[in-house]
Structure 1
Amino acid sequence: MGCWARLKSSDWAYPTAVLAFYGFFANCRIAEPFLAPYLIGPHKNISEEVVTNYLFPIWTYSYLAFLFPVFLLTDLLRHKPLIVLQGLFLLLNYVLLCFVPGLTAMVFLEIMYAVVTASDVAYFSYIYSVIPTENYQRATGYLRSAVLFGYTLGAGLGQVLISLAGLDYFQINAITLGVVSVAFLLSFWLPKPKRSMFFKGRKAAALGQKSQQARPGGAADETVSDAGSGKRKMERNDSTGWCGGENMVNAGHLLWQSFRESYSSRHLIYWSLWWALATAGYTQIMNYIQLMWDHIEPSATSSVYNGGVEAACSLVGAAAALSVSHIEVNWSVWGELALGVFSAIGAGAVFLTALASNIWACYAGYALFKSCYMLLITVTTFQIAANLSLECYALTFGINTFVALALQTVMTLIFVDEATLGVDIVTQFIIYGSYYAVISALFIIRGVYTVCAMRSSPGPSNVQKEHGDTAEVIHAESF
């Protein structure tokens, strides 16, 4: 009891611990790597064509529809209600998977899962509104680790239960229902944030603008620190009218200011462009990879190793991402070329996944592709976050994700949806490989130009200048 009381009294350890445990249980979805075989198999008895060309596109369309409203509601309602809603819908998804038959139930499942994925913005931004700035970096590391560990353990455990314990897909879905129920209960333990990023009220917004103006000299942190609990009290008192017209105008003004800062240089625009383009293809591949595996080696007649592959890929991807912190590279010079080269490797890996007749070659292609993406998205996130304030980074994250989802929706509408082309799964992956090849070509050309311009200039080049026009101060919250 004494340890628990000390944990609750901490200004950052308690919310970080609760959110980390929530993230662990919410992502420890033992049955998720086996979703496609479960839907196609005797438990749901839905055809592969319906799952591919009708059911899964519903998630994409719904995700696009929910993303921006959820982003605004996250800040407006101060995070916690959206995390609770995410936990509830995740629980209901597995109730539908376990106990409700029929295609209509699966349609509702895809819509609710879109809310779950859209609510990730609430999970990843919550912690910055309840803990002191100096603990941002440590808390972020704990939360990312909890999500990764939960996903890896869930995928690996699912494989063990299928291959060694002999459980069927319904049983592991029932176990997953119990696991995500724990996450839902944990969400109620989260403390309610006392401040918002954009919907701050007039006084808090004015104080935020004043502190931002003081940043270049380093006085901002001192100002905020000196304000202490008085600032928090003012924000509490000023938040009573958060849905009033004046607060909405202030929020819109802050959003516009953050947007201008977020895309203030070509450097940030190029990194954001890669983020949006690459994430669109990555999410599409992640959404349909199980169907690709089932096409090469049908789960009805063969052993399925989806869980083991996902667990291994997560560890390899995490190692690739972790390696970024140990690589000494001038990313402002070589970054765009690296984006192009590793995107080309990813394109080759997708082509291998599409054209392989052997399931293990397909697994290897998927692992290589995921590792390349994890490496590059880590570099991209760092490059963008290091030059932006928390508000701007949150907005950039939301905009880049929205653009990526819009591109993914276009791909789904044209190539996947049964109402249009409705191409088969192999052709889809050939298209995704070609898509990544175009991305790699664009950034290789841009990267070669950047390197040549840098080497041909005897002094500070235009490239250096355009890379240096971003925010002057690197804040811990950006990480």
Structure 2
Amino acid sequence: MNVWAKLKSSGWVYPTTVLSLYGLFANCRVAEPFLTPYLIGPHKNISENVVTNYLFPIWTYSYLVFLLPVFLLTDFLRYKPLIVVQGLFLVTNYVLLCFGPGLPAMTLLQVNYAVVTSTEVAYFSYIYSIIPAENYQKATGYLRSAMLVGYTFGASLGQMLVSLAGLDYFYLNAITLGIVSVAFLISFLLPMPKRSMFFKGEKAVSSQREEKPGDNTLDQQVMDKDGTGSEAEKIERDDSNGCYSRQNVISASHLLWKSFRESYSSKSLIYWSLWWALATAGYVQVFNYIQLMWDHIEPSATASIYNGGVEAACSVVGAAAAFSVGFIKVTWTVWGELALGLFSGVGAGAVFLMAFTSSIWVCYAAYVVFKSCYMFLITITTFQIASNLSMECYALTFGINSFVALSLQTIITAIVVDEAALGLDIVTQFTIYGSYYAAISLLFLLRGAYTACVSRHSARHMEPDGAVISSERF
């Protein structure tokens, strides 16, 4: 008990520890790499075409509907309630998978899972509202490591249970139900943040008024009125109880608009955000439908499958690629866009290889390459954006970029996948995804070459202090 009390009083260690444990258990989804074989197998008996062209698109549409309101509610309700909701819906997700009969239950499952994914923003933002700024870097590292360990362990365990123990997919889902139930219980141990990033109550109103010359702050106005701080204290108490006045909401709107302008204040930030949105839309499409591609190349009913092992390998290799970013000495402002174009091209080649190969092992390897390239580039992009913005602006940028990516993904799904439109087969879909990534690669190769040429031209003609020099020195 003394250790627990010390953790609680440590300021940042306790919430970081609890949230890391939550992330570990919430992402330890043993059954996730085997979702498609489970749905099209004897347990649910849903055809591959229905899963591809009807069932999976429902998640995309639902996710788009939930994302924006959940993003605003996350800050308004101060993060913890949304994390608890995510834990609850994770539990419901696997209850449906274990015991929900037929297509209607699996349709509800897709809507249910959209709530889970839309509340991820609460997991990533919670820690910044409750710990000191000097601990942001450490806490972020612990949280992402916990997610990675949970996902890798879950995928590896699932593969071992299938390959070595011959366990039925139903029991994988039952085990996962138990694990995510632990995550749901852990979420209640999180302390409730005392502030939000945008809906800051009295402090937000005060800070906004301080920006206007000649205006008194809210506290000063109250003191001028009755000579005491009682009214200001009342507002603070109301704020701590989650009560927001109309003025608070207006203030939050102004702060959101100010953060938006700062987030997209330069061309370089816009281009980094553009790649984030474009590439993430394509990545999520490949991630969502890769199990159907694997099943197309080598049907799970007739052969052993290694989906869990491949996903575990992707996590380890992708994490190593992301970790290597910190040790690469490159001027990303000059060469970053060229790197985005180059590695996006590698990713496009990997997707084309997945589409046209008849070897499951080649498809596995191409998927590892594709996912590693994405994790490498998204790490660079995240760092470049976050290093130039305040935490409030970064949170908003994360939300907006995710919303744009999801909107693009929804358009692709509605045209390419949905049975109400083209309803294309899985090979044709991956051919289109490869072409999509090739277009991203070409765009950023051209933009990156232009940026590098302009930078080199400036360096050849300008000294650091701005003096013009001869290009012969170079």
What is the TM-score with the length of structure 1 in the denominator?
A: 0.90
Q: Which residue of 2 aligns with 1:102?
A: 102
Shift of 1:166: 1.3
1:169 equivalent in alignment to 2:181: no
- Alignment map for 1:68-79 (pairs within 5 Å): 68-79=68-79
The alpha-carbon deviation at position 100 of structure 1 amounts to 1.4
Closer, same or farther: CA 81–354 of 1 in aligned 2, 3 Å: same
> Over residues 267-309 of structure 1, what are the superposed CA-to-partner deviations in whole Å (9 max), with x where a residue is unaligned?
1000000000000000111000000000000000000100000
Q: Deviations over 1:434-465 (max 9, x none)?
A: 0000000000000000111111122289xxxx
Q: Please state how far the C-alpha of 1:247 moved relative to its aligned partner.
A: 1.4
Query: Counterpart in 2 of 1:26?
Result: 26
Deviation per residue, 1:82-127 (Å, 9 max, x gap): 0000000000010010011110101111001001001000000001
Q: Please say if residues 31 and 176 of structure 1, whose CA atoms lie closer than 8 Å, have aligned partners that are also in contact.
A: yes
Matched, 1:270 2:271: yes
The 1:388/1:103 distance shift into structure 2, 3 A limit, reads: same
Question: Which residue does the alignment assign to 2:160?
Answer: 160
Taking a change above 3 Å as real, the CA distance of residues 275 and 49 of structure 1, as seen in their structure-2 partners, is same
Q: Tell me how far 1:77 sits from its aligned partner.
A: 0.4
C-alpha contact (below 8 Å) 1:203/1:238 kept by paired residues: no
- Asked if the contact 1:385–1:393 (Cα under 8 Å) also holds between the matched residues in 2, the reply is yes
Q: Are 1:44 and 2:44 matched, yes or no?
A: yes
Q: Show the counterpart of 1:367.
A: 368
User: 2-side partners of 1:11 and 1:350: how far apart?
Assistant: 46
Cα deviations by residue, 1:126-178 (Å, 9 ceiling, x for unpaired): 01111111111111100000000000000000000000011010011100000
Residue type of the alignment partner of 1:75: D
| Matched residue SS, 1:413 | helix
The corresponding residue for 2:4 is: 4
How far apart, CA to CA, are the structure 2 residues paired with 1:141 and 1:58? 33
Q: Which amino acid aligns with 1:8?
A: K
CA distance in 2, matches of 1:269, 1:250: 26
SS of equivalent residue, structure 1 residue 357: coil
List structure 1 runs of 4+ shifted beyond 2 angstroms.
202-211, 231-244
**CA distances 1:9-54 after superposition (whole Å, capped 9, x unpaired):** 1101111000000000000000000000000000000000000000
Greater Cα radius of gyration, structure 1 or 2: 2
Counterpart CA distance in 1 for 2:367 and 2:463 is 41
Counterpart of 2:56 in structure 1 is: 56
Q: SS of the counterpart of 1:112? A: helix
Name 1:344's counterpart in structure 2: 345
- CA apart distance, 1:199: 0.7
Q: 1 CA distance for matches of 2:191 and 2:391?
A: 20
Structure 2 partner of 1:425: 426
1:228 corresponds in structure 2 to none
Q: What is the Cα deviation at residue 336 of structure 1?
A: 0.5
Note if 1:436 corresponds to 2:405.
no
Q: Is the alpha carbon distance of 1:369 and 1:241 closer, same or farther for their aligned partners in structure 2, counting shifts above 3 Å?
A: closer
* Aligned counterparts of 2:346 and 2:140: Cα–Cα separation in 1: 29
In the alignment, the residues of structure 1 paired with residue 364 and residue 210 of structure 2 have an alpha-carbon distance, to the nearest angstrom, of 53
Partners of 1:96 and 1:106 within 8 A in 2? yes
1:208 to 1:360, Cα distance in 2 relative to 1, 3 A: farther
Paired residues of 2:282 and 2:437 also in contact (CA < 8 A): yes
- In the alignment, is the contact (CA less than 8 A) between 2:204 and 2:248 conserved in 1? no
Question: Which position in structure 2 is the counterpart of 1:190?
Answer: 190
Relative to structure 1, the CA distance from residue 118 to residue 209 in structure 2 (aligned partners, 3 Å threshold; closer, same or farther) is: farther
**1:226 equivalent in structure 2:** none
TM-score, normalising length: structure 2: 0.91
CA distance in 1, matches of 2:234, 2:5: 24
Match of 2:392 in 1: 391
| Distance 1:200-1:179 versus aligned 2 partners, 3 A rule | same
Counterpart of 2:308 in structure 1: which amino acid?
Answer: G
Structure 1 residue aligned with 2:323: 322
Please tell me the residue identity of whatever aligns with 2:5.
A
1:204, CA displacement in angstroms?
Answer: 3.3
Task: Determine if contact 2:208/2:251 at 8 Å carries over to the other structure.
Answer: no
Q: Per the alignment, in what secondary structure is the counterpart of residue 46 of structure 2?
A: coil
Q: State the Cα distance separating 1:62 from its structure 2 match.
A: 0.3
Per-residue CA deviations over 1:188-211 (Å, capped at 9, x if unaligned) read 110001000111124334337869
Alignment check: 8 A CA contact 2:204 2:252 kept: no
1:215-294 aligned at under 5 Å gives the runs 236-240=237-241, 242-294=243-295
Q: Could you tell me the percent identity over the aligned residues? A: 73
Query: What's 1:459 paired with?
Result: 462
| Partner Cα distance (2:312, 2:439) in 1 | 29
CA distance in 2, matches of 1:317, 1:425: 25
Gaps of 5+ in 2: 214-231, 465-474
Contact 2:58/2:107 (<8 A) preserved: yes
The alpha-carbon deviation at position 248 of structure 1 amounts to: 1.3
Aligned mates of 2:402, 2:234 — CA distance in 1: 33
- Pick closer, same or farther for the CA change 1:397–1:460 going to 2, 3 Å: farther
Aligned equivalent of 2:303: 302
C-alpha distance after superposition, 1:373-425 (max 9, x if no partner): 00000000000000000110000000000000000000000000000000000
Letter in 2 for 1:378: T
Q: Using the alignment, how far apart are the partners of 2:409 and 2:310 within structure 1?
A: 24
Q: Classify 1:168/1:248 alpha carbon distance in 2 versus 1 (closer, same or farther; 3 Å).
A: same
Contact map agreement 1:194 1:235 (CA 8 A) in 2:
no
Cα distance between partner residues in 1 of 2:260 and 2:463: 28
Does the 8 Å CA contact 2:202/2:236 hold for their aligned counterparts? Answer: no
One-letter amino acid of the structure 1 residue matched with residue 196 of structure 2: S
Partner of 2:354: 353
Distance 1:202 1:2, change over 3 A: closer
* Cα gap change, 1:298 to 1:203, in 2 (>3 Å): same
| Structure 1 CA distance for aligned equivalents of residues 311 and 209 of structure 2 | 45
Q: Is 1:87 aligned with 2:87?
A: yes
CA shift for structure 1 position 241: 6.8
Give the superposed CA RMSD.
Answer: 1.9
SS at match of 1:423: coil
Deviates more, 1:29-38 or 1:201-210: 201-210
Question: Equivalents in 2 of 1:408, 1:92: separation in Å?
Answer: 25
What amino acid maps onto 1:425 in structure 2? Answer: I
Out of 317-326 and 237-246, give the one that drifted further. 237-246
1:234 deviation in Å?
Answer: 7.4
- Alpha-carbon deviation of 1:246? 1.3
Residue 447 of structure 1 is matched in structure 2 by 448
CA drift at 1:4: 1.5
How much has 1:242 moved relative to structure 2? 3.9
* Counterpart Cα distance in 1 of 2:233 and 2:181: 33
CA distance in 2, matches of 1:237, 1:401: 32
